[in-house]
Amino acid sequence: MHGRPRKAPKPEDEAASAAKAAKLRSLQSQFFSFHHSKIYTKEAVELSAKLLEINPESYTAWNYRKLAVEHHLSQPESNPDSVKSILDDELRVVESALRQNFKSYGAWHHRKWILSKGHSSIDHELRLLDKFQKADSRNFHAWNYRRFVAELMNRSEQDELKYTEDMIYRNFSNYSAWHNRSVLLSNLLEKNAEGFLSKEKVLPEEYEFIHQAIFTDPDDQSGWFYHLWLLDQTVKDDSPLLVSSWPAHGSDLFLLGDRCHNGSAFSPFTTLHSDSGSFPVLLYFNQSVEGVSSSTVTVESGFNKNEDLVWKPLSASNSQTAQVWVAHLKFPTSEFHSSVEVSVGHSKGIISSKGFQYSYPSTFSFKVCVQPVNRDSSQASAAENISWREEDFKVHGRQSQESIPIVSFDQLSIRNDHEPTASSWRAEAIAKEIECFRELLSLMDCKIGKLTLARLLMAYDVMALPCANKLVHSEEVLELYNDLMKLDPSHYQYYKDEHSLVLLQQVTSSRESLLKHCFQYKDSVSSSICNPICLRLNNLSLSQMGAFEKLLWVQMLDLSQNELQSIEGLEAMQLLSCLSLRNNKLRSFTALEPLRKLKSLRVLDISYNEIGDHSIDTTRYLCSSPLSHSVGSEWNKDETVISDVALINYWEAFFIFKELSLKQLDIVGNAIADEKFKSILVKVLPTLKWLDGELLD
């Protein structure tokens, strides 16, 4: 085990093992005969006990004993004394099995089942648990059973909390005790129990408690996990919050029927070209929620009825719970001006995935200007082939005047019922922790200490300086993750992903920093300022995407020359029409699943990735194979001109592309991109005009 070479068994050990196996086979043969014949005599039940004494993991034997108990309890001659005798026998069998293996799932589960009958005394249970927890104080089976027994005994959670404290003082490395403490504290805080009325009083005391464990043995993980839980409790609000929206609060949205030209003065940041007659309204929450509907979200406008709006979750898993929700507002085809006000949560019904109500009603408003603009048909085809070459972009020329619609929670019009001191005590607690861990790192080079400090610094910036739109400590955090990638190469990818997320938070922290990455695409059709603005996040060595709440306005995005293996979360960017993922590390079409939600996507470059170099991605199944007749076979073969063989070979690609209306696709440089596959793509994407830079017939 754990890299140690196995020792050759001694002859006498082999003989004993063979004898034990022979006995076990004989017992199993007799047992299964009784079980199949539904024989529950005293001899048959005793035989199952012998089998469980040898092999406590025999689930069938435990189930047989349940059937036997139910059979005997249902007999007419049964009385309270006989019932107690039957159940006490079962408890003795369980105890005997646990002596053989006190981590037996079946034994602990059977003991719970017996006690839940309500005929047995539970006074003995805590004494039994003490024996097992002295043998192994971290046995999570025993801790789980202890929670069950404590509930049966109506033992107070305060008493159990004191017990965890005693067990932790015996051994700071008791992960199960730390975990049980987090469960108990969560319950006490949720119930507002006496002495646990607010996190402001409880959590600082817990920080002091955990410091004793961390500073005593910085290499032990148990305390660090509990500290991470405390940090999560300090930073996060239980109730969900609306953190971002599109259109942004106070913005002016210009809706154009086609590409504008001839010197139009519309801002490229707030102009949307829509040929569908509608535009999306996006709500971005800080956690997944359900219940977003026309009854919980009210949209008042001069061109749409609130009750006609359908709110849909933007979830890759098609769940009814999501962080991002979208509704499409239809607008008139003639010139039109109107104000729109969106009120969120003034009626109850929005609930987080953890069961907390949305309790901070918020409102945001924006103006809509509809301007039908016709394009010269002679110029129509010239602009359709988007090139991602460096020379096709120029620095946006109005950096000082432009207002990129970045919105965060503090900019929304909110009736905030937070207690006045809520944010101050949280920031103070984080500041104390930062000081504490700086001191620890000054004494020793501790990997998990650096990771914790990085998390604390980011939490402090977000919590203490939300209105400043700055990340004061971002450079220090990036340097910490760079150090961790060198110090701990076995967890390199995790640190790399965290580094990418911090870098994106830094880029999107202010309009000034974001404008440095905004470039104007040089469209040959027009020299107007309404040419598309491309957010270029290329060559940043990104391995993960984030900060989507600040990127809802983006219509053209360049993520080329990075290290992305996933684009999870990109489904939130509903305005996206042009996307380059060229030269990344995408391994399969399953990594492109978020694209299915981007109905406005027209241009996609996934060239020079690793699609086809690896076997099918089994880490995350999108749907069943066409070879299966179960859920996931969503396509109708009669509606396609693709052969069954091609469908079986390219089902992942078909699943991703079948609902998209791409006009331009680049896929060259992937192992899968042979001529046969390209011919399939042309059939799957009837709207496609450009493939790998070539105009299709």
DSSP letter for each residue of 138-199: T-HHHHHHHHHHHHHTT--HHHHHHHHHHHHHH-TT-HHHHHHHHHHHHHHHHHT-TT-S-H
Query: Are the beta carbons of 466 and 410 closer than 8 angstroms?
Result: yes
How many beta carbons lie within 10 A of that of residue 389, not counting itself? 7
Residue 290 is encoded by which pair of tokens?
């359900």
Please list, residue by residue across 88-121, b when 16 or more beta carbons sit within 10 angstroms of its beta carbon and e when fewer do. ebbbebbbebbeeebebebbbbbbeebbeeeebe
Distance CA 464, CA 237 (A): 14
Distance CA 365, CA 351 (A): 23
Residue 441 is encoded by which pair of tokens?
């790192």
Residue 272 is encoded by which pair of tokens?
């949307």
Percent residues over pLDDT 70 in the chain: 84
DSSP letter for each residue of 58-116: -HHHHHHHHHHHHHHHTSTT--HHHHHHHHHHHHHHHHHHHHH-TT-HHHHHHHHHHHT
Distance CA 129, CA 135 (A): 10
- Report CA 399 to chain centroid distance, whole Å: 35
**Per residue in 412-433, pLDDT tens?**
544 444 444 456 888 899 999 9
Comparing CA positions, the residue from 308, 305, 255, 311 lying closest to residue 281 is 311
Residue 546 is encoded by which pair of tokens?
């984030």
Q: How many CA atoms lie within 13 A of 400 on its CB side?
A: 0
Distance CA 211, CA 452 (A): 13
Residues contacting 218, CB < 8 A, separation 6+ = 440, 444, 446, 448, 449
pLDDT at 251: 87
**Per residue in 659-694, pLDDT tens?**
899 999 999 999 999 998 998 899 899 999 999 999
Output the pTM of the full model.
0.84
Comparing CA positions, the residue from 578, 546, 581, 537 lying closest to residue 670 is 581
Residue 254 is encoded by which pair of tokens?
């210009």
Query: Are the beta carbons of 664 and 603 closer than 8 angstroms?
Result: yes
Q: What is the CATH number of domain 243-375+385-414?
A: 2.60.40.3710
Query: Mean pLDDT score of the chain, rounded to an integer?
Result: 83
Sign of the Cα torsion 511, 513, 516, 517 reads negative
pLDDT at 103: 86
- Selected from 3.30.200.20, 3.30.310.50, 1.25.40.120, 3.40.190.10, the CATH number assigned to the domain covering 17-194 reads 1.25.40.120
Kindly compute the dihedral angle of the four CA atoms of residues 524, 525, 527, 528, in this order, to the nearest 10 degrees: -140
Amino acid at 69: V
Give the chain's largest Cα–Cα span.
98
* End-to-end Cα separation, the chain, in angstroms: 63
* Helix/strand/coil for 619: coil
Residue 610 is encoded by which pair of tokens?
């690793």
- Report CA 583 to chain centroid distance, whole Å: 26
DSSP letter for each residue of 358-378: --S-EEEEEEEEEE-----GG
Kindly compute the dihedral angle of the four CA atoms of residues 17, 23, 25, 29, in this order, to the nearest 10 degrees: -170
Distance CA 599, CA 659 (A): 8
Per-residue three-class SS string for 510-569: CHHHHHCCEEEECCCCCCCCCCCEEEECCCCCCCCCCCHHHCCCCCEEECCCCCCCCCCC
Distance CA 521, CA 556 (A): 9
Mean pLDDT per block of 10 residues along the chain (697 residues) reads 62 73 84 91 90 89 92 84 87 89 89 87 82 80 89 90 92 91 92 86 92 88 92 88 91 72 58 82 94 94 85 82 93 85 92 89 90 55 73 70 53 45 78 93 90 94 64 92 95 96 93 89 51 90 94 95 95 95 94 92 96 66 43 47 66 87 95 90 92 89
Residues contacting 354, CB < 8 A, separation 6+ = 238, 287
Query: Which part of the chain has CATH 1.25.40.120?
Result: 17-194
Residue 75 is encoded by which pair of tokens?
């007999």
pLDDT at 414: 45
Supply angle C-alpha 184, 185, 187, rounded to 5.
Answer: 65
